[in-house]
Chains A and B, each alone.
Chain A
Amino acid sequence: MTSPEPTSGGAAERLAAACFLLATAAAIGLAVVYWRGGQTQLEGIMLAVALGGIGMGIVVVAKAFLPDEEATEAREPLASPEAEVAKLTADLESGEAPVARRRVLVASLGAALTALGASLLFPIRSLGPRPGRGLKTTPYEGGRKRVVRADGTPVRPADLPEDGVITVWPEGHTDAADAPTLLIHVRPNQGFRPRPGREGWTIGNIVAYSKICTHVGCPVGLYQAAEGLLLCPCHQSTFNVLEGARPIFGPAARSLPQLPLALDAAGYIVATGDFSDPVGPGFWDRER
């Protein structure tokens, strides 16, 4: 780059001044837009022009008028000279040596600091409860509970047409994050096979599975009735409803837990207990 010529200097000066004036106008414009009720797009553009004008102007000034010569600076060695290090070591040792010799002092101070450090960790325990059985249970636990829709209404088998799916919760717990359940009415000719030991868990062809994906807990949303497959929208895990919601594709490694169903005296669907397995994503001692 050469040093700027006087003529181009004049042009550059005009250009830079124009940038600054444009910025001024945009800033005033921003104030007006804001004052008159605000409008996001206009505000953004005005702000951008105001900032950009100033930036451009400065860059023009820097290129046209400010010195452009190459400078060289020496790079001194980083490491300190031996003598300097030796002196520092000596200084440090003047404080260290008298103490370090006294073993009892060092050991007891070490013990005090360790104990203090450890005791300062205790308040962390206050942050949350001990992870207990809560991870393995849901509000379905402990006896028969009606299943209800989001608005709290109970469900009769007749409410569910073939291929129909609805999301239900245990009565009184429609806000529990681990309780959303899918009631699915599979077609009789689809060859639904209950898991051994769960023959009585369905009502006719209505079967209930946890809606919480066993991968990382997204709600399993899509029911492809023709194949009897449940699809998780998050990472495309696919569960086969006809075979105990076994995962057949994707990252999920465990079946969706099943909920035992029955009918109460009034003909509404109830859950006779909690899910077959802990709901949702896995954890270290899930099976313990």
Chain B
Amino acid sequence: MSRTTRARRAKREPVGRWIDDRLGVAKLARTALNKVFPDHWSFMIGELGLYSFVILVLTGAYLTFFFRASTTEVTYAGSYDALRGVRMTEAYRSALDISFDVRAGLLMRQIHHWAALLFLASIVVHLGRVFFTGAFRRPREINWMVGVTLLILAIFNGFAGYSLLDDQLSGTGLRIAYSIALSIPVAGTWITSLLFGGEFPGPDIINRLYVIHILIIPAIITVLLTVHLAIVVRHKHTQFPGPGRREDNVVGERMWPTYAAKATGLFFLTAAVVCFLGGVFQINPIWIYGPFDAAQVSSASQPDWYMGWLDGALRIMPGWEIRAFGFEIPNPFFPGVLLAGLTFGLLFAWPFLEARVTGDHGEHHIDDRPRQRPVRTALGVATIAFYVILFLGAGADVLSTTFGLSVNSVLWTFRFAVFVAPVVAGSVTYRLCRELCRRDGLPMASKVSWGEIPSRLLGRHRPPDASPHPAEPDEPMPTHDELV
């Protein structure tokens, strides 16, 4: 040991010693530092979500120092000429002040918005990764459900966030949300009255959304993120098949030092990207939209991307509603409540549905390659196609003006495409998966005939052999090299 290292060690030791004398954590810390993480680029997508959340909390905290969630009417007198003298709510004025009169305020606002978009994007892509690699299977069902809950919370919080500013666009969005909630049978009028403090626009909604946006949902997200990560630590990360990789081990990089350094580097790089976007690319220019006015039209208003599918569904839905015995189920209930409920309900249930159908209730720590599960992969791609069409449907008016088509024909195209595209995308994917497997000589998941699925879902299926683990490619694949 050289003299310098010894000197350094002598200086460092007392602090570590001091802590360990009081907590006795040396062993625990060493276990943590030696934890092994499998290395694959797709395993870092979830990390991006974590990092954007950190950025959201930091920038968001800064914004709270200036934002006023109040609907009190004031007259603008700030430094943006076009709105001087205009009556507006205090919420909108403080958002303008953040944008024009607080130094670095606009930067923080825009970083916050971009980070929110990235947060949602990484959650969705991460969910896709987990789905297509089968990383939701036993023992990870709980963590899958925690993850889906996080997605729902993130969507709600994103919406709550941009509804606070009380500009024309967000006011319109809030009115749509109000009407969707109002459409819920029996409870709708109560839910909206309690949430908004009365009829739209309601005296309390901005103030309440603020508490929800900056306290309640972030607190729940923080807790669930912690749980999410703790469960990952408990389970140890899944890994792709490869040399020496088995169901009963984890092959990868130790937490300390390399993995930790890379993760830290990734955090800084993520922060750099959103700061660049926030500085250079304008987002949500509320001063152009003006203050909210219930009688004023804001044409071609587009929501943030993660709400696009909902907006598209609202447009594509034909003008049907159910009326009987003097009661009615209004039109927006179907795309706005039922579709969203089905979407997230199916997501929650997926690990269990799949296990029932395949009869595979065993533990899995080796990830599937998507091609080896043609049916799951095809269903996943079909679902994505469905939501992409809905998302594009949200831009039907823009599409029709851009290409000079009538809105009617564009909407009718979407009404068909929303059913056709998933079928096409799904069956192409299915073919492709089988073809790729054949080419690579990979074993494929054993087939379940479509006719059997209902009885399996109902749990009435008797497998011909009594073995609890039917033929499943649990073992590492023969063609290691190209999998790594």
Q: Which residues of A contact B (CB under 8 A)?
A: 34, 37-38, 40-45, 47-52, 54-59, 61-62, 66-68, 70-75, 78, 124-125, 127-131, 134-135, 150, 167, 169, 177-178, 180, 211-212, 215-222, 233-237, 247, 249-254, 280-288
Contact = CB atoms under 8 A, between A and B. Distances in A.
Contacts of A249: 319, 408, 411
B258 A288 contact: no
Contacts of B175: 216-218
A62 B314 contact: no
A169 B295 CA distance: 10
Nearest to A44: B279
B232 to A, nearest CB: 13
A167 B295 contact: yes
B332 A215 contact: yes
Given A43-B104, A44-B280, A247 B193 contact: no
Nearest to A38: B103
Interface stretch (B3-11, B194-202, B417-425): B194-202
23 contacts: A44-B107, A48-B272, A55-B265, A58-B265, A58-B268, A59-B265, A62-B261, A75-B248, A128-B195, A128-B197, A211-B295, A216-B332, A218-B176, A221-B299, A233-B301, A234-B301, A237-B319, A249-B319, A251-B317, A284-B328, A285-B189, A286-B330, A288-B327
Q: Which of B193, B244, B257, B270 has the most CB of A within 10 A?
A: B193
Interface string B269-302: 1111101111110000000000000111111110
B190 A131 contact: yes
Interface in B164-191: 172, 175-176, 178-180, 182-186, 188-190
A2 to B, nearest CB: 14
Contacts of B397: 233, 236
Contact of A43 (B107, B179, B234, B265): B107
Interface string B91-104: 00000000000011
Contacts of A58: 261-262, 264-265, 268
B267 interface: yes
A283 B315 contact: no
A222 B300 CA distance: 12
A281 B175 CA distance: 10
B327 A215 contact: no
Contacts of A217: 175-176, 178-179, 200
A217 to B, nearest CB: 5
Given A41-B279, A128-B194, A217-B175, 15 more contacts: A55-B268, A59-B261, A67-B257, A67-B258, A68-B258, A72-B36, A128-B195, A220-B297, A233-B298, A235-B314, A249-B408, A251-B315, A251-B331, A280-B179, A285-B327
A251 B332 contact: yes
B280 A45 contact: yes
A62 B34 CA distance: 16
A251 to B, nearest CB: 5
Given A51-B271, A129-B198, A131-B189, A71 B252 contact: yes
Contacts, number: 271
Interface in B107-130: 107, 110-111
Contact of A59 (B172, B262, B297, B316): B262
B267 A55 contact: yes
A117 to B, nearest CB: 18
A150 B293 CA distance: 11
A282 B331 contact: yes
Nearest to A42: B279
Contacts of A178: 199-200
B473 interface: no
Contacts of A235: 311, 314-315
B20 interface: no
Given A59-B265, A284-B327, A288-B327, A75 B315 contact: no
Contacts of B270: 55
Interface in B342-384: 363, 365
Nearest to B412: A249
Nearest to A284: B185
Contacts of A167: 295
A284 B189 contact: yes
A48 B273 contact: yes
B319 A250 contact: yes
Given A43-B279, A49-B272, A129-B193, A233 B201 contact: no
Contact of B330 (A129, A236, A281): A281
A284 B331 CA distance: 11
Contact of A44 (B178, B189, B275): B275
A180, A221, A234 interface centre (most CB from chain B within 10 Å):
A234
B365 A75 contact: yes
Contacts of A216: 175-176, 179-180, 314, 332, 336
